[in-house]
Amino acid sequence: MKAIKFIFLVYIAFSVLYTLNYFYVVYSNTYGSDNNIKPRNSLGLNFQTSEWGNDKLSWGASDYMTEEFFLSKVFSESMQPSHVIPYYFRAIKTPKEEDITITTLITENRFHVFDRLVTNYQGPISVTIHVSDDEKSRDVLLSKLHELYNGNDYMKQYVDVHLVVDNFERQFNMWRNVAKFFARTNYVMMLDVDFHPCTDFRHSILNNEKIMKKLRTGNTALVVPAFEYADLQEGLDYRTFPTKKSDALELIDSGRLVMFHASWKPGHGPSNYSHWYGSNELYKVTTYQYQYEPYVIFPKQSIWCDERFVGYGANKAACLFELYLSGVDYWVLPNDFLIHQTHEYLEDARRHERRFNKKLYDHFREELCFRYARNFILNGEWKTDKTINLKNTCSKIRGFTQAIKYFSSLK
Ligand SMILES: *[C@@H]1O[C@H](CO)[C@@H](O)[C@H](O)[C@H]1NC(C)=O
């Protein structure tokens, strides 16, 4: 009895302290902070860091919250210290809200491929570029970037460039979030820069009222199937790539063009390529599983890629798993496709990081099942269709069903 009393008193004491601390923080943030702190300019150049690309982003708290502080909270799960510089370059054209922004990440050795993508796409692009935080390499990179940006008119018309300045390599999911967060359209396409869009999927979607209707519901992600050449030498020059499905099918028939990463079936297999060959209609992915990592168009207002995934392996799959769990279904576009442009990989780093990320991903999926289930229940959505994907996926976790029953009974 005494022990219980003691625990109770400790609990009360902590609650009081917590509340006091809370009020102190609120008070000091409102009245005590320095209004004049400007975003620190860690690059020593004259950036327009406070010019937001999206008018709707003004949050009215700027009197006592610096942009730097705000951004550090937005990307708070990433490795710190990190400095985000949105709209280092800002496209002249303002895209329509109902449009598709390609969001991508590039490093210096992919600049030339990116240049081609921009010329080829001629639509809104939001790109994150990582800049190492040491004087010498960043000066080299930035001068190359200026050269790249100013050397292509489509770049100036369509591309928003955001920088992440820090000393952490391969924070892919954080970089993805930056590119998506600052995208200025309702829909984004998460694309690896090495893929060449062979068809104009942007207009085949935007001009198709049936597909747009689906996209607007917020529970649809559109898959553009990805291919590669069996002989990697053939994948070097995009000008030789097919631009029509019928031409692609001929190459597929003769075995020259194959599903991307065919040796790793779960990665793209659920798109059911054999169905795609004969289909002229949008079709649903019915065999989703957690390693699936297609290239998709989906609503900007959806998931946030988990920033704990740093390095190779599982990072994109983790974003897409969360998208699926949140109630979004994958639908494959019947007439559009991408082809991978061959280049060298850094295999050594990949192997190590894959091992770590696999472990993280196993835990992450369980965590996500519980987090989303709890939210669905508390929001009164547990009985809606939104939870079908979650229920199918998460019921395989041992103890999940019982835990949900118990949790629902507490409510
Ligand atoms: C994939 O598509 C083929 C051809 O339409 C079909 O026969 C097969 O059942 C599909 N596979 C799955 C798993 O849906």
Ligand 1 center from residue 274 Cα (angstroms) = 7
Ligand 1 center from residue 65 Cα (angstroms) = 54
Contact (CB, 8 A) for 108 and 118: no
pLDDT at 242 (0 to 100):
98
pLDDT at 351 (0 to 100):
79
Ligand 1 center from residue 275 Cα (angstroms) = 6
Query: What are the φ and ψ backbone dihedral angles of 198, each rounded to 5 degrees?
Result: -75, -30
pLDDT at 409 (0 to 100):
83
Q: Considering only CA atoms, which residue is closest to atom 7 of ligand 1?
A: 275
Note the pLDDT tens digit of each residue in 285-319.
999 999 999 999 999 999 999 999 988 889 999 99
Ligand 1: residues with CB < 6 A are 272, 274-275, 286-287
Helix axes 315-325, 347-378, angle to 10 degrees: 20
Q: Considering only CA atoms, which residue is closest to atom 11 of ligand 1?
A: 272
Q: Average pLDDT, whole number, for the chain?
A: 86
Ligand 1 center from residue 400 Cα (angstroms) = 31
Ligand 1 center from residue 272 Cα (angstroms) = 6
Ligand 1 closest atom vs CA 279: 5
Q: Considering only CA atoms, which residue is closest to atom 12 of ligand 1?
A: 272
Residue whose CB lies within 8 A of the most ligand 1 atoms, among 223, 275, 276, for a mutation test: 275
Report the C-alpha gap between 320 and 303 in whole angstroms.
9
Q: Considering only CA atoms, which residue is closest to atom 14 of ligand 1?
A: 286
Q: Which amino acid does the sequence have at 237?
A: D
Which tokens is 243 given? 């631009």
Which tokens is 270 given? 């659920």
Contact (CB, 8 A) for 333 and 379: no
CB atoms within 10 A of CB 113: 18
Contact (CB, 8 A) for 131 and 163: yes
Domain ranges, ordered by start, for the chain: 1-31, 34-193, 194-411
DSSP H/E element including 102: strand 100-106
Report the C-alpha gap between 285 and 331 in whole angstroms.
6
With 60 as the cut, is the pLDDT of residue 43 above it?
A: no
User: Across-strand partners of 83?
Assistant: 165
pTM of the model: 0.84
Note the pLDDT tens digit of each residue in 365-384.
999 999 999 999 999 999 99
Ligand 1 center from residue 277 Cα (angstroms) = 11
